Amino acid sequence: KNEVEQSPQNLTAQEGEFITINCSYSVGISALHWLQQHPGGGIVSLFMLSSGKKKHGRLIATINIQEKHSSLHITASHPRDSAVYICAVRSGGNKLVFGAGTILRVKS
């Protein structure tokens, strides 16, 4: 079992829908990252969280340290949000351990 589990693996939404991607982890962490990988392949860091909630535009990330769970929300989704969203946790030794990713497709 992977130390970082994401759900769902695949998600198709209609433009405008509210989207939630979940991440659960089983190890002690110092921070959790949400990353976005576009079809072109590049990886962009969206958020880094160690507690609470962060918001950038239509993206919101929350983390519950006690429950070892984080969610990434996208409000008013748009086709340009289509990408792979990856949860990664920073554990001992400062290394990132990645989830398998959630493939999001937003249809217009």
Partner 1 sequence: DTAVSQTPKYLVTQMGNDKSIKCEQNLGHDTMYWYKQDSKKFLKIMFSYNNKELIINETVPNRFSPKSPDKAHLNLHINSLELGDSAVYFCASSQAQGKVTEAFFGQGTRLTVV
Residues that bind partner 1 (CB under 8 A): 30-31, 33, 35, 37, 40-45, 48, 50, 84, 86, 88, 90, 93-98, 100-101
CB of 33 to partner 1, least distance (A): 7
Report CA-CA distances (Å) from 47 to 35, 37, 51, 60.
7, 13, 12, 9
CB of 98 to partner 1, least distance (A): 4
Taking the least distance from each CB to partner 1, the nearer of 17 and 62 is: 62
DSSP secondary structure string, 5-56? Answer: EEE-SEEEEETT--EEEEEEE-S--SEEEEEEE-TT--EEEEEEESSEEEEE
CB of 97 to partner 1, least distance (A): 8
Residue 68 CA, chain-centre distance (Å), reads 14
Taking the least distance from each CB to partner 1, the nearer of 14 and 94 is: 94
CB of 99 to partner 1, least distance (A): 9
Taking the least distance from each CB to partner 1, the nearer of 51 and 64 is: 51
Residue 31 CA, chain-centre distance (Å), reads 13
